[in-house]
Amino acid sequence: MPAPQTNHAGFEPKGSFAHVNLMVDSFIANAEADDLRAIMRTMLASCPPSTASAFTAAARKRFAQTSTRHPAPLPSAHYALPTAGLAEASPSLPATLRRARALYGAGLGFAGLALLTSVARGTLGLRWDLDGPLADTLAAVDADIAQALQSCREEFGSGRVADVDAARATLQELEATLIASQDDTARWEGDFPFERALVDVQHWKL
């Protein structure tokens, strides 16, 4: 028989902690991030689809509560020009990409897409080593934008888009940014890094 729960002196569970076993909460607070990821993936893969829906709904609620803590960085903040005029990723770029991926992965496609548009816009006027790490990063951003667009379609299809005009403006800004990037890279005979993203956004009109 399970041991009875006992309150520590002076401890009264509040808010969400009232619904979490104290031992489980201790584990969550101290586990390594990689362990938590593996456990969540295993749990969500073995549970009914409704569990994954509840998980992403909780994630969206969390993002809504913390959105003011993560102001969008300026496009120029994503890149640095250390040598020879060739751009490199700035230290802040990986964090921006993680944030965007978390947003569109939780079903907030338009919010994630706005961050990725900023990343694409920041490349305007820059050149980079076509065989260097930034080229690889931009190829990943191209795939990210395509995935964010799919998240946007699901967000719109589920009726969770409250402001359709704002959503449409986000798509239009992305398309204009990618066209400008295509023209910009052509001027210095670079490889346009967002081919897939441009095709995707041009084939979906709200």
Contact criterion met (CB below 8 Å) for 160 and 109: no
Pseudo-torsion of CA 28, 30, 31, 34, nearest 10°? 100
9 pLDDT more than 50: no
d(CA 93, CA 75): 10
What is the model's pLDDT at position 152? 97
Tens digits of residue pLDDT in 21-68? 888 888 888 989 999 999 989 988 998 888 888 888 888 888 888 775
Contact criterion met (CB below 8 Å) for 73 and 87: no
3 pLDDT more than 50: no
Q: CB neighbours of 86 closer than 8 A, spacing ≥ 6?
A: 127, 128, 129, 132
119 pLDDT more than 60: yes
8 pLDDT more than 60: no
DSSP output for 165-187 = HHHHHHHHHHHHHHHHHHHHHHH
**Tokens 């979906």 sit at which residue?**
204
d(CA 201, CA 206): 10
Tens digits of residue pLDDT in 166-183? 999 999 999 999 999 999
Which residue, 69, 63, 141, 41, is CA-closest to 108?
63
Contact criterion met (CB below 8 Å) for 181 and 133: no
CA distances from 77 to 64, 122, 174, 179 (A): 24, 8, 18, 21
Instruction: Tell me the sheet residues that pair with 31.
Output: none
Q: Indicate the helix (H) or strand (E) that contains 191.
A: none
**In b/e form, how buried is each residue of 170-180, taking b as 16+ CB within 10 angstroms?**
bbebbbebbee
